[in-house]
């Protein structure tokens, strides 16, 4: 997909999350653990949703949590979390509550370097078979196998 690799330690399968904020924090945890981001980056992602609404919902069932690089990115990275249960987000401008289960947490070091990564993410999102199979997955191993198969 790009020079940034989605390795096993950056892939998660979770049963559920108490709310959207916990889901954001859970999806960013691997990047925090590897030192790609600081806690301030996660806080910025949460605050952005509180302020701007659920702008990270980029396709049905897909969320792309991210914030500005200067909010705490030290190294570019991506993490994938698939939740078994829907995560509901606050209503946006359309006043509809939306949900997601696939979270692709993005950490970019600047506004341009992640463009090839976004192209790869776009290919995943355009692949309805992959998305459906990710939604049907019941373990981290299944998610990892699917990503390897479709990458």
Helices 20-33 & 39-52, crossing angle to 10 degrees? 150
Choosing from 14, 25, 66, 101, the catalytic residue is 66
CB burial of residue 59 (10 Å; 0-12, 13-18, 19+) = middle
114 is catalytic: no
State how far the Cα of 115 lies from the Cα of 111, in Å rounded to an integer.
Answer: 8
The SS3 assignment for 142 reads: helix
State how far the Cα of 89 lies from the Cα of 91, in Å rounded to an integer.
Answer: 6
Tell the residue number behind the tokens 């096993």, with chain if given.
8
Backbone angles phi, psi at 89, to 5 degrees: -110, 155
Helices 128-136 & 115-126, crossing angle to 10 degrees? 80
Residues tagged active-site: 66
């Amino acid at each position: 997909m790009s020079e940034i690799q989605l390795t096993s330690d950056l892939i998660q399968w979770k049963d559920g999350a108490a709310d959207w904020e916990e889901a954001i924090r859970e999806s960013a945890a691997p990047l925090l653990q590897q030192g790609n981001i600081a806690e301030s980056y996660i806080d910025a992602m949460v605050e952005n949703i509180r302020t701007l609404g659920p702008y990270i919902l980029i396709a049905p069932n897909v969320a792309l949590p991210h914030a500005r690089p200067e909010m705490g990115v030290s190294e570019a990275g991506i993490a994938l979390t698939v939740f078994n249960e829907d995560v509901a987000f606050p209503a946006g401008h359309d006043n509809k509550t939306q949900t997601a289960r696939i979270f692709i947490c993005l950490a970019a070091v600047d506004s341009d370097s992640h463009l090839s990564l976004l192209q790869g993410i776009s290919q995943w999102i355009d692949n309805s078979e992959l998305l459906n199979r990710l939604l049907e997955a019941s373990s981290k191993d299944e998610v990892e196998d699917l990503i390897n198969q479709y990458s």
